C-alpha cells in the first residue's frame, strides 16, 4: 500500500514536470517568435514523450551515469595505476609510457574532471608531479560549490579552470553552477554571480578572467571577488559587425510567401552560436601577432564552425575562419604566431588539431587523429608544449595523451571507473606546467577533513 502511494506520487510529480516544461517552452518561444507560436506548441507536444523518458531515466540512473564513456583502450596492455601520495583513495587513473618515453617533457600535469575518490565519483583537480605521481588534490565538493545534487538530474560537467599564483583555483561547470574560487585545500573563497562554462582564461594582470556566460555571451569577471565586470552579447556582436554574414548563418528564415516580410532579422534558434572558448591574447605573445593587439579575444563558435579574433573594446571582428573545422573547441594562441584549434570533426570518425597562420592566411593539420584513434565528438582540449610536444585531452574517450617532438606517443592516461569496467569518466582538461611553476611552489599539505563528502 505504501509503495502504491509512492508510485502515485511519483507519477503526479512527473506529470507536473511535463506540464511545466510544456508551458515554459511555449512562453519562451512566444517571446522570441510570436508569429510561430501555434507551430511551436505542436512541436513541444510532439517531443513530450522524449522529455518523460529522459526524466524517468534520471530517476533510475546514477547522477554520474552520463559522465561515463566507452574505454577506447579496454584490454590494452601496459597500463598501470598512477602512484598516489595523497590521503585520498583515488582509483582508476592509469597510465602507460608510449613508444617515445624519452620525449616526455619534465613538469607538472594537472587533470580536471571526475574521478572515483574514496569509493564514489567526485569532482577534483589533481596534480601529477614531474615523476608522474599524484601529489595534491583540490577537492571540489558540493558544499564548496553551494549546490545540492539530491535530485533527479545528472551531475554537471566540469568545464574550465584557472590555477592562480597562490595555488587557489577558479572552477567552472556546464549548467547552473556558479563559478567558484577555492583555496589550495578546496575551501570556498568566493562564489561569482556569473555561471561561466567551457573555458576560463586569466587576463595578463591576473586581476580578471574571461569565460563563456549566459546565452553564450562573453563575460569577464574579477578574480579578487568574482563580480561580473563586462558582458558582450551575441546581439551586440552582430550590431558591431553588420556586414558579417557569418554571424547570421543560423538565423531562422522562411520564404514569407505572399508578404515579402522584411522585419524578422532577429529570429535565431537557442543554440545559434554555442560559444565554447574565449581566450585573451597575452601581452607576452602580442609581438608574434602583428595584426592583433594584446587583450584581443580568440573566440570559438561551435554552431558556426568558426574561429574569430574580436576586439573587446569595439566588438569588431578582426579575423575569422569558418572553412576548415567542424564543431571545433579550444582555440589557442601560440608563441610562434600560430593559432591552433581542436577540430572535433563531429561525425567524421576522427578528430584533429589544426594550425592557422593568420598573417600568411594559411593552415595545416598538426595532428591527424586517425593513426591514434583520437576522436572526441564534443568537448576536448589541447596544449602545445615547450620543445615541440603536444598534450591532448580527448574528453569523450576519457583519455589524455602526450605526443613528443618526434610525433610519437610519450605518455597516455585514462580516467577509468573501476565500478564500471570498460567505461571511463569523461575528462575535462589536462594542462602542463613547468617544473618551477610558481603556483605549484605555493601548494601546501592539507588535512583531509573527516566531515568531507569524499
Pair 10, 146 in one domain: no
Pair 30, 136 in one domain: no
Pair 320, 416 in one domain: yes
Say what the pLDDT of residue 1 is.
46
Say what the pLDDT of residue 102 is.
82
| 438, pLDDT greater than 90 | yes
Which domain-ending residue is among 31, 60, 89? Answer: 60
Q: Are 88 and 420 in contact (CB under 8 A)?
A: no
**Other C-beta atoms lying within 10 Å of the C-beta of residue 441:** 10
**CATH code for the domain of 199:** 2.130.10.10
Give φ, ψ of 239 to 5 degrees.
-65, -35
**Residue range 327-339: average pLDDT?**
98
- Domain hosting 171: range is 71-247+268-441
For residue range 74-122, what is the model confidence (pLDDT) as tens digits? Answer: 999 999 999 999 999 999 999 999 998 788 999 999 999 999 999 999 9
Q: Are 366 and 353 in contact (CB under 8 A)?
A: yes
Say what the pLDDT of residue 319 is.
98
Alpha-carbon distance values, 92 to 104, 307, 354 (Å): 22, 35, 31
Pair 382, 238 in one domain: yes
Task: Identify which has the larger pLDDT, 8 or 206.
Answer: 206
For 188, the enclosing helix (H) or strand (E) is strand 188-191
DSSP secondary-structure letter at 273? S
As a whole number, the mean pLDDT across the chain is 90
**Residue range 204-212: average pLDDT?**
95
pLDDT band at 355, cuts 50/70/90?
A: very high
Grid coordinates of 360: 600568411
Which domain-ending residue is among 15, 41, 60? Answer: 60
Grid coordinates of 308: 574569430
450 Cβ partners below 8 Å, 6+ apart?
A: none
For residue range 150-184, what is the model confidence (pLDDT) as tens digits? Answer: 556 789 999 999 999 999 999 999 988 999 999 99
Pair 275, 204 in one domain: yes
Which domain-ending residue is among 41, 60, 79? Answer: 60
Q: Are 423 and 70 in contact (CB under 8 A)?
A: yes
Is 253 inside any structural domain?
Answer: no
Q: Are 376 and 395 in contact (CB under 8 A)?
A: yes
Q: Cell 522570441 appears where?
A: 32
Is 261 inside any structural domain?
Answer: no
Pair 52, 99 in one domain: no
Grid coordinates of 377: 565528438
Grid coordinates of 354: 589544426
Is 362 inside any structural domain?
Answer: yes
411 Cβ partners below 8 Å, 6+ apart?
A: 95, 96, 97, 98, 101, 104, 132, 401, 402
Is 27 inside any structural domain?
Answer: yes
Say what the pLDDT of residue 3 is.
46
Alpha-carbon dihedral 394, 390, 82, 77, rounded to 10 degrees: 70
Give φ, ψ of 148 to 5 degrees.
-130, 110
Is 450 inside any structural domain?
Answer: no
Q: Cell 571540489 appears where?
A: 140
| Least trusted range by pLDDT, from 25-34, 167-176, 241-250, 261-270 | 25-34
Pair 289, 411 in one domain: yes
Pair 237, 284 in one domain: yes
Task: Identify which has the larger pLDDT, 416 or 32.
Answer: 416
pTM: 0.88
Pair 40, 133 in one domain: no
Is 262 inside any structural domain?
Answer: no
Q: For residue 208, list its beta bridge partners.
A: 222
| 2, pLDDT greater than 60 | no
Pair 112, 159 in one domain: yes
Number of domains making up the chain? 2
Pair 225, 136 in one domain: yes
Pair 227, 364 in one domain: yes
Say what the pLDDT of residue 265 is.
77
Within its chain, how far is the Cα of 26 from the centroid? 29
**Other C-beta atoms lying within 10 Å of the C-beta of residue 362:** 10
Amino acid at each position: 500500500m505504501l509503495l502504491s502511494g509512492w508510485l502515485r506520487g511519483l507519477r503526479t510529480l512527473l506529470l507536473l514536470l511535463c506540464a511545466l516544461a510544456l508551458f515554459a517552452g511555449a512562453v519562451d518561444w512566444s517571446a522570441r517568435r510570436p508569429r510561430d507560436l501555434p507551430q511551436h506548441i505542436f512541436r513541444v507536444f510532439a517531443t513530450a514523450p522524449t522529455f518523460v523518458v529522459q526524466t524517468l531515466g534520471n530517476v533510475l540512473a546514477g547522477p554520474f551515469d552520463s559522465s561515463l564513456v566507452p574505454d577506447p583502450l579496454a584490454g590494452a596492455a601496459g597500463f598501470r595505476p598512477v602512484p598516489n601520495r595523497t590521503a585520498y583513495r583515488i582509483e582508476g587513473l592509469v597510465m602507460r609510457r608510449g613508444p617515445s618515453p624519452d620525449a616526455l617533457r619534465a613538469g607538472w600535469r594537472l587533470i580536471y574532471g571526475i574521478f572515483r575518490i574514496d569509493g564514489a565519483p567526485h569532482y577534483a583537480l589533481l596534480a601529477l608531479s614531474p615523476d608522474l605521481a599524484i601529489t595534491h588534490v583540490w577537492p571540489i565538493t558540493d558544499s564548496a560549490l553551494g549546490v545540492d545534487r539530491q535530485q533527479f538530474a545528472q551531475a554537471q560537467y566540469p568545464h574550465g579552470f584557472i590555477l592562480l599564483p597562490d595555488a587557489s583555483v577558479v572552477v567552472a561547470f556546464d549548467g547552473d553552477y556558479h563559478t567558484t574560487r577555492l583555496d589550495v585545500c578546496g575551501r570556498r573563497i568566493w562564489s561569482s554571480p556569473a555561471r561561466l562554462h567551457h573555458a576560463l582564461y586569466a587576463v595578463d594582470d591576473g586581476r580578471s578572467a574571461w569565460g563563456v556566460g549566459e546565452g553564450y555571451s562573453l563575460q569577464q569577471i574579477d578574480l579578487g571577488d568574482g563580480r561580473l565586470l563586462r558582458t558582450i552579447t551575441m546581439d551586440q556582436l552582430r550590431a558591431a559587425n553588420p556586414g558579417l554574414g557569418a554571424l547570421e548563418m543560423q538565423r531562422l528564415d522562411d520564404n514569407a510567401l505572399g508578404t515579402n516580410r522584411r522585419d524578422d532579422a532577429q529570429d535565431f534558434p537557442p543554440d545559434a552560436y554555442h560559444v565554447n572558448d574565449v581566450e585573451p591574447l597575452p601581452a607576452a605573445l602580442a609581438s608574434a601577432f602583428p595584426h592583433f593587439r594584446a587583450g584581443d579575444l580568440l573566440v570559438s563558435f561551435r554552431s558556426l564552425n568558426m574561429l574569430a579574433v574580436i576586439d573587446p573594446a569595439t566588438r569588431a571582428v578582426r579575423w575569422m575562419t569558418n572553412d576548415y573545422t567542424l564543431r571545433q573547441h579550444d582555440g589557442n594562441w601560440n608563441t610562434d604566431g600560430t593559432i591552433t584549434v581542436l577540430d572535433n570533426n563531429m561525425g567524421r570518425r576522427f578528430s584533429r588539431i589544426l594550425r592557422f597562420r593568420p598573417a600568411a592566411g594559411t593552415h595545416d593539420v598538426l595532428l591527424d587523429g586517425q593513426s591514434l584513434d583520437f576522436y572526441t565528438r564534443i568537448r576536448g582540449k589541447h596544449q602545445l608544449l615547450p620543445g615541440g610536444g603536444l598534450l591532448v585531452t580527448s574528453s569523450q574517450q576519457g583519455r589524455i595523451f602526450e605526443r613528443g617532438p618526434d610525433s610519437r606517443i610519450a605518455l597516455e592516461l585514462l580516467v577509468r571507473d573501476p565500478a564500471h569496467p570498460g567505461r571511463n569518466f569523461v575528462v575535462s582538461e589536462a594542462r602542463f606546467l613547468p617544473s618551477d611553476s610558481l603556483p605549484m611552489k605555493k601548494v601546501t599539505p592539507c588535512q583531509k577533513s573527516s566531515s568531507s563528502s569524499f
